[in-house]
Amino acid sequence: MLTQRRGQFPTREELRIWRNFIETTDALRAAIAARLLSESGLSTGDYSVLLALTEAENGRLRSSELAATIGWERSRLSHHLGRMDKRGLIRRENCTGDNRGAEAVLTGEGAAAFHRATVPHLRAIRELFVDGLTPAQVGAAGELAAALRDHLESAGGGASSR
């Protein structure tokens, strides 16, 4: 209680910045996602999955590897693959050599959708993110992200981590 670091709470100004920061990044994410969806019919989740499969050997990946690649929980991926399967963007196959495994396989339709999406998506990132900042600010964004990420990883992000 003695050793409590400077202000237990954020100052008014810090709080204002926090709210602004989190709301703005949220709006940015939503705007990019909306553009992607309207221009290609893909959600950002779809895009991540298709990107990973496109870059994978033979357009196929074991479910758990795919989850690790894009940083998703297993059950989230499972639900999402179910929806993508229903839409014909991917196909599920049994994993040869390990019968409990499953592989997600890129379909022609999935590959086509991904290719239709990529150019407009990159353009949206440039227009809404890069073009809104000076080069110095883009650099600052990178440093900010790195600092926050390091801090999160060390200081424990989760709820149960302390």
Rule CB under 8 A: choose which of 12, 31, 64, 88 binds a copy of itself.
31
Could you tell which of DNA, a copy of itself, none binds residue 112, using a CB distance below 5 to 8 A set by kind? none
Assess contact for 88 and 131: CB atoms under 8 A.
no
Rule CB under 8 A: choose which of 1, 2, 3, 7 binds a copy of itself.
7
C-alpha 64: how far from chain center: 17
**Alpha carbon distance 149, 14 (integer Å):** 19
> Which region, judged by CB under 8 A, interacts with a copy of itself, from 61-69, 86-94, 103-111, 125-133?
125-133
Order of strands, sheet of 102-106, starting from the edge strand that comes earlier in the sequence: 60-62, 102-106, 90-94
Q: How far is the CB of 102 from a copy of itself (least distance, A)?
A: 26
**Alpha carbon distance 118, 4 (integer Å):** 49
Q: Is 93 in the site for a copy of itself (CB under 8 A)?
A: no
Angle of helix 44-55 versus helix 63-70 axis, rounded to 10: 120
Q: Is 109 in the site for a copy of itself (CB under 8 A)?
A: no
Residues lying near a copy of itself in the complex (CB under 8 A) are found at: 5, 7-10, 14-18, 20-32, 34-35, 37-39, 71, 119, 122-123, 125-134, 137-152, 155, 157-160
